[in-house]
Amino acid sequence: EAGVTQFPSHSVIEKGQTVTLRCDPISGHDNLYWYRRVMGKEIKFLLHFVKESKQDESGMPNNRFLAERTGGTYSTLKVQPAELEDSGVYFCASSLLGQVSSEQYFGPGTRLTVT
């Protein structure tokens, strides 16, 4: 069974540009989470989808970040325009719906560098 995949693995962009990160969850996982780790700090929650609906987006830093989950399958996270402080590793995780504290399976992350 394929795990959570993320694309690209690395992205280097200039300040002011746009970047779109993609996450493909494990098939059948209705929960999808985005997290971010800024260098030297903890991994922080960004938002949570249940199928195609945003369940919780309290961790989104500002309105330069837009997340979508088309048809409840893969998800994209767009940063527009990117700022220097957006640099970090963006993780995606997925889990089954309906199970208390269902294990979250993480992807390898996308390392974003804004110069």
Describe the chain by its helix, strand, coil percentages, rounded to 5.
5, 50, 45
Contact 12, 115 (CB under 8 A): yes
- Binding-residue pattern over the window 2 to 41 for other proteins, x denoting contact by CB under 8 A: -xx--------------------------x-x-x----xx
Nearest to 5 by CA among 23, 28, 29: 23
Binding to other proteins in span 54-83, by CB under 8 A: 55-56
Regarding 103 and contact with other proteins (CB under 8 A), the answer is: yes
Structure tokens at 28: 């059948």
**Could you say which of 88, 95, 112, 114 contacts other proteins (CB under 8 A)?**
95
Q: How far is CA 103 from the centre of its chain?
A: 17
Regarding 50 and contact with other proteins (CB under 8 A), the answer is: yes
Q: Which residues bind other proteins (CB under 8 A)?
A: 3-4, 31, 33, 35, 40-45, 48, 50, 55-56, 91, 93, 95, 98-109
